[in-house]
């Protein structure tokens, strides 16, 4: 069975919607890669993974994630709801 993880890497539907050329896609993927490697993003992911381990939700398949709240704390939340909240239409990215 093929892995579902990262199945759309480099081929997201929004690229077609934005009429991105192959060259522009490559530039964006390179930028995204460098952004995720930055110390700030690595620290952010480490913080979330540590919180997931502490809460007992890391890698157990329960579909829960740790979500940042507006007041700076973290709470358990359904993974799809947490990752689906992307701040469009002036909404907050935090619970």
- Calpha distance 95→91 (Å, rounded): 10
Q: What is the pLDDT of residue 40?
A: 94
Q: What is the pLDDT of residue 2?
A: 61
Query: What confidence tens digit (pLDDT) does each residue in 33-46 have?
Result: 999 999 999 998 89
Query: What confidence tens digit (pLDDT) does each residue in 16-35 have?
Result: 778 888 899 889 889 989 99
Q: Where are the domains of the chain?
A: 20-90
**pLDDT (average), residues 70-88:** 81
Q: Give the list of residues 6+ apart from residue 58 with CB closer than 8 angstroms, or none.
A: 49, 52
Q: Which residue has the tokens 């829960």?
A: 64
pLDDT at 6 over 70: no
pTM: 0.62
Q: What is the pLDDT of residue 78?
A: 87
Alpha carbon 49 to chain centroid distance?
12
Q: 92 and 70 in contact (C-beta within 8 Å)?
A: yes
């Amino acid at each position: 069975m093929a892995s579902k993880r990262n199945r759309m890497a480099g081929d997201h539907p929004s690229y077609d919607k934005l009429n991105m050329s192959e060259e522009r896609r490559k530039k964006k993927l390179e930028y995204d890669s460098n952004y995720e490697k930055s110390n700030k993003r690595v620290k952010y992911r480490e913080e979330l993974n540590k919180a997931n381990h502490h809460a007992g939700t890391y890698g157990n398949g329960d579909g829960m994630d740790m979500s940042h709240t507006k007041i700076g704390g973290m709470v358990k939340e359904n993974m799809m709801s947490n990752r689906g909240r992307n701040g469009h239409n002036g909404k907050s990215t935090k619970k």
